[in-house]
Amino acid sequence: MFLIEKFISLSLLSPLPIIIILLFVGVGNLFKKRKKSGLVLILISTFLYLASSEVFIDKKLYDLENSYSIISEKNLEKGEVYVLLGGGIITTTGEGNIPGIMPAVRIMKTAEYYKKYPKKIYISGGSPLQNQESESSVYARELISLGVNSEDIIVEENSKNTNENALFIKQELEKNGIKNIILITSAFHMKRSMFIFEKNLDGVEIIPAPCNFLASKEKENFFYYIPKYYNLLKFQLWLWETIGNIYYKIKY
């Protein structure tokens, strides 16, 4: 009974009804000799199903996220400093500016690592809109609230993308003679980040510390095939990073 109730609730609160309607209308149009509109609707329904189902997107995201493993205790102790990359802020809350959902996990991980092995934290992230508070300053405030000493935080507030993160952080590292860093960002963003940092930071050892893994590690089951709205966010992240990886490799 529980499985039936779960199936019904997941089906009704998912893109499945929309996918089925689009598919049936598309097939109906084919029978009515409206081939173009029929094919378009069938393609849209197929795309929507793949983009919202774990059976497709989790496999793609898993491959992207597992380009690098979780940092080992040995490497965590070895790194000279932490470098935390920005990933957006939310400016429309009643509490003022707060970290976005994804970078919030990065911040918590950074604080966790800091408590184990206290060392300087370099935060890289400017303000996409000039009149906004920078990502770095928002993250710094959160880290301090989590017990990080404010004197151990260095903010870089000029960068607006991953390449600029690397370039501006490079300047800060050179000032202080740092030759070994622990790079902290979301697992889906680590592949592109490592490519850019290794390209720009000659002579600096970069230790990846991916966090915020989103792809499910569960074995496939019946519910794996039911489309869900939150998988569309995973698809968006995977697509953005895939395009970003291609673009950065061509440009840099």
Is the pTM of the predicted complex or chain greater than 0.85?
A: yes
Q: CB of 219 within 8 A of CB of 169?
A: no
The predicted pLDDT at position 251 comes to 81
DSSP 222: G
Supply angle C-alpha 14, 15, 21, rounded to 5. 130
SS3 181: strand
**Alpha-carbon distance values, 193 to 66, 84, 100, 210, 233 (Å):** 14, 11, 18, 10, 20
Q: What per-residue string of b and e applies to 15-49 under the rule 16 or more CB within 10 Å gives b?
A: bbeebeebbebbeebbeeeeeeebeebbeebeebb
The tens-digit pLDDT sequence of the chain (252 residues) is 544 555 555 555 788 889 999 989 988 888 887 888 889 999 999 999 999 998 899 999 999 999 999 999 999 999 999 999 998 888 877 777 888 889 999 999 999 999 999 999 999 988 866 667 889 999 999 999 999 999 999 999 888 899 999 999 999 999 989 999 999 999 999 999 999 999 999 889 999 999 999 987 766 676 778 899 989 999 999 999 999 999 988 887
Output the pLDDT for position 187: 96
Which pLDDT does position 2 carry in this prediction? 47
Q: What is the pLDDT, as a whole number, of residue 114?
A: 97
207 phi and psi angles, rounded to 5 deg: -100, 115
pLDDT at 94: 73
The one-letter code for the residue type at 183 is: L
Look at residue 100 and give its three-state secondary structure. coil
Say if CB 55 and CB 233 are below 8 A apart: no
CB 203 within 8 A of CB 178: no
What's residue 31's pLDDT?
85
User: Can you list the positions of beta strands (E) in the chain?
Assistant: 81-85, 89-90, 98-99, 121-124, 153-156, 180-186, 205-211
Exposure b/e, 108-119, CB count within 10 A at least 16 = b? bbbbebbeeeee
Query: Token pair of 114, please?
Result: 């800091």
Burial code of 145-161, b = ≥16 C-beta within 10 A, e = fewer? eeebeeeebbbbbebee
- State the pLDDT at residue 35: 85
